[in-house]
């Protein structure tokens, strides 16, 4: 039973919005090889994450972790702020 908790997904991304109360939008960028042409293409996915202390700013590099559904769109939470925006 203890091992299931450790299988939660983690992502590192950039905060793109912090306008909501106790919520942030994190953009996670990944590089994918195009199936036909072989060129590497950047793909961005936006996650809505729970920020309990409301201390993230736009441009911060953060680590988020998958969690139980907190609201309709939020099932990720902030783990730590890796790098503050300059």
Q: Which of 55 and 4 is assigned the larger pLDDT?
A: 55
**pLDDT tens column, 15-53:** 999 999 999 999 999 999 999 999 999 999 999 999 999
Count, residues in the chain = 86
Q: Which of 7, 17, 8, 31 is nearest to 77 (CA)?
A: 8
* 29 within 8 A of 42, measured Cβ to Cβ: yes
> Does position 63 have pLDDT exceeding 70, yes or no?
yes
Contact 80, 24 (CB under 8 A): no
Residue 80 has pLDDT above 70, yes or no: yes
pLDDT at 12: 98
Closest CA to 17 of 53, 54, 63: 54
């Amino acid at each position: 039973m203890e091992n299931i908790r450790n299988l939660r997904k983690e992502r590192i991304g950039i905060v793109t919005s912090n306008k909501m109360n106790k919520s942030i939008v994190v953009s996670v960028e990944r590089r994918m090889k195009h199936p036909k042409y072989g060129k590497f293409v950047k793909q961005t996915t936006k996650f809505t994450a729970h920020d309990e202390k409301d201390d993230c700013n736009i441009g911060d590099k953060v680590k988020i972790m998958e969690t139980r559904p907190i609201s309709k769109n939020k099932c990720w939470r902030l783990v730590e702020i890796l790098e503050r925006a300059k």
